[in-house]
A and B are shown apart, each in its own frame.
Chain A
Amino acid sequence: MKKNPKTLKLILFSIAGIALLIFPLLAKNSYQVHILNLVGIYMMLSLGLNIAMGYAGQMNLAMGALWAVGAYTAGLLNQRLGLSLWLTLPCAIVAGGLVGGFVGLPALKVRAHYLSIVTIGLNEVINIILVNETKLTGGVDGISKIAKPALFGFKINTEQRYYYLILIAVIATFLISRQILSGRVGRNFRAIRDDYKTAPAMGVNAGFYKLLAFIISGCFAGAAGALYAHLNAYISPDIFEHKTTLFIMTLTMVGGLGNLNGSLIGSFILPVLQEYLRAIQDWQYVVYGLAIMVVVLFVPGGLMQVFTLLKPYVTMLTSRFNKLKSGTTVGEDSNVS
């Protein structure tokens, strides 16, 4: 065999890269591109949740509200002060991180299911503030006419153009996630997830790393919020209710907790599926509920675990296929295994 796995990987990567770049040109209509833009935003949210929940083991069930914090920060700064996305985005990241840290404070006292309940409660608290602080947030009407960004005079004012912006943001978020998790911080996250009682004996300040996990997920949600606000031009509290939080949790779990690629896959499959499930309205939540149950009971590692389980079979099939193609002799066969 001449092809080695590295060149194969490179080829696959190039194909994927080209596909991502030309997708908006192939799409039937801008609605399809819009869906993909949302997919990108879910990817950022899911990466944030995956770091907190999948890696650090911290149940952050306030992602919807943290997303709102980013969106409202950007929306208000644009509406009131006329700031562009390039300025509202960093502000939204900071705001998301701060509120994320605040939402994480209960993690210093409670954990697991109790933490889920407290954080989902905080999600509601933030949502109620959005609805009731009418003067600041516009109440149920939300904020509208948020300006589209421009780059050196080039207006990013169509779904197609925005697509590339989100593509860059997702790639950046993914690379940053990988970087954060690759060293000391990632190991400490996994240490407190694996055994929160043992980690401190190894010098890990468990409380600090719990908060850090919440802050990072808040920053990612903040960035996703700013991008969403300027993309949609209109935001209202109902988008960020707890069912959004549960949707983000579902797609992260279906993709694979503790695996960044899982976040990408889950964020693609579920929102696209949602488009097809629109017809059955609220019944779609039954489908998500069942999906979570299947994952928790049978494949806790989500789709990424399914892939690893299937891997040996795929290798077996491809090697059979290669053998058929090249008519390998018995002698060479023994080298393969």
Chain B
Amino acid sequence: MFLELEHLTMKFGGLVAVDDISFSVNKGEIHGLIGPNGSGKTTIFNMLSGYYKPTSGKIVFEGKNITGLPAHKVTQAGFARTFQNLRLFKSMTVLENVMVSMGHLAKTQLLNVMFNPIAAQKENDLFTEKAMKLLDLLDIRQYAHNLAVSLPYGTQRRVEIARALATEPKILLLDEPAAGLNEVETNELAEILTTIRQSGITIFLVEHDMKLVMGSCHEITVIDYGKKIAEGDCDCVRSDPRVIEAYLGKEEDL
């Protein structure tokens, strides 16, 4: 199994944000995680990426137990993530933001990059070249030298994805990447997701945009109040009465 969540539970004081959830994510697929607001999706991401230590339960990635590893170790193990609320480095250009993510892969010794101008320049050149390729992939090359936080919302979302990809992950966790995007941008995002998946990276997607989820995901897990209420492929989930009641039903009311 590629990624397995086993009986994951996260309590905040008296609140059980994630309640005994188990499921697995298959390699090479786009796996959706949906549920109403406050159902615990971001909390699951935070546990997976090393931000929260689960109250109980296990996370097994490629056969290794990674539960409770610090965030930078989880990234080194092959996880990358974006944030629901944009969190780009505010003093950096788009290029620099992306280059930060490459540091953990660097081959050059630390003392060498600190004191040897030639080695440092070589590393910077290499990183720049790799980063530019990612900017091309997300079609944001023209903003390379702009301050990332000065860009429009949709563009910043792309920078977040480029920055996550720059860690060279095996699995990419996207927390509501379509939030705040218009329809054209959302369609472009769907294409980007396909390209990323085709390059061999598994995607784990939290998203409220049902069209995007149903159009892109191979497998969907639905949670409500921290509990898993359904899983399966799109059709299966769409027709599940509990899902309709908890989630899709609400959408229709709106």
**CB neighbours of A286 from chain B (8 A):** none
Taking chain B's interface residues, is the majority helix, strand, or loop, or is none over half, making it mixed?
A: helix
Residue of B nearest to A216 (CB): B114
Give Cα A205 to B104, complex, Å. Answer: 9
Give Cα A230 to B71, complex, Å. Answer: 46
Shortest distance from the beta carbon of A230 to any chain B beta carbon, whole Å: 25
Residue of B nearest to A181 (CB): B114
**CB neighbours of A202 from chain B (8 A):** 75, 100-101, 103-104, 163, 166-167
Using a CB-CB cutoff of 8 Å, which residues 174-212 of chain A contact chain B?
A: 176, 179-180, 182-185, 187-188, 190-191, 193-195, 197-206
Q: Is the CB of A191 within 8 A of B75?
A: no
Shortest distance from the beta carbon of B161 to any chain A beta carbon, whole Å: 13
**CB neighbours of A188 from chain B (8 A):** 100, 103
Shortest distance from the beta carbon of A102 to any chain B beta carbon, whole Å: 20
Chain B interface size, as a band, is: 35 or more
**CB neighbours of B91 from chain A (8 A):** 190, 193-194, 258
**CB neighbours of A197 from chain B (8 A):** 51, 87
B115 at the A/B interface (Cβ < 8 Å)?
Answer: yes
**CB neighbours of A201 from chain B (8 A):** 49, 51, 71-72, 75, 80-81, 83, 164
Q: Is the CB of B89 within 8 A of A198?
A: yes
**CB neighbours of A205 from chain B (8 A):** 72, 104
Using a CB-CB cutoff of 8 Å, which residues 107-124 of chain B contact chain A?
A: 108, 110, 113-115, 117, 120-121, 123-124
Q: Is the CB of B96 within 8 A of A185?
A: no
Give Cα A201 to B49, complex, Å. Answer: 7
Which of B113, B164, B166 contacts A184 (CB under 8 A)?
Answer: B113
Q: Is the CB of A179 within 8 A of B115?
A: yes
Q: Is the CB of A179 within 8 A of B99?
A: no
Using a CB-CB cutoff of 8 Å, which residues 53-104 of chain B contact chain A?
A: 70-72, 75-76, 80-81, 83, 87, 89-92, 96, 99-101, 103-104
**CB neighbours of B50 from chain A (8 A):** 200
Q: Is the CB of A184 within 8 A of B106?
A: yes
Tell me whether A204 and B92 are in contact in the complex, defined as CB-CB below 8 angstroms, given that A176-B115, A185-B110 are known contacts. Answer: no
Tell me whether A199 and B100 are in contact in the complex, defined as CB-CB below 8 angstroms, given that A194-B89, A194-B91 are known contacts. Answer: yes
Q: Is the CB of B75 within 8 A of A200?
A: yes
If A184-B110, A200-B70 are given as contacts, then 5 extra A-B residue pairs at C-beta distance below 8 Å, sorted by A number, are A183-B113, A183-B121, A194-B90, A200-B50, A201-B164
A residues sitting closer than 8 Å to B (CB atoms) are 176, 179-180, 182-185, 187-188, 190-191, 193-195, 197-206, 258
A-B contact pairs, 15 of them (CB 8 A): A176-B115, A184-B108, A185-B113, A187-B100, A187-B103, A188-B100, A191-B100, A194-B89, A201-B80, A202-B100, A202-B163, A202-B167, A203-B76, A204-B103, A205-B72
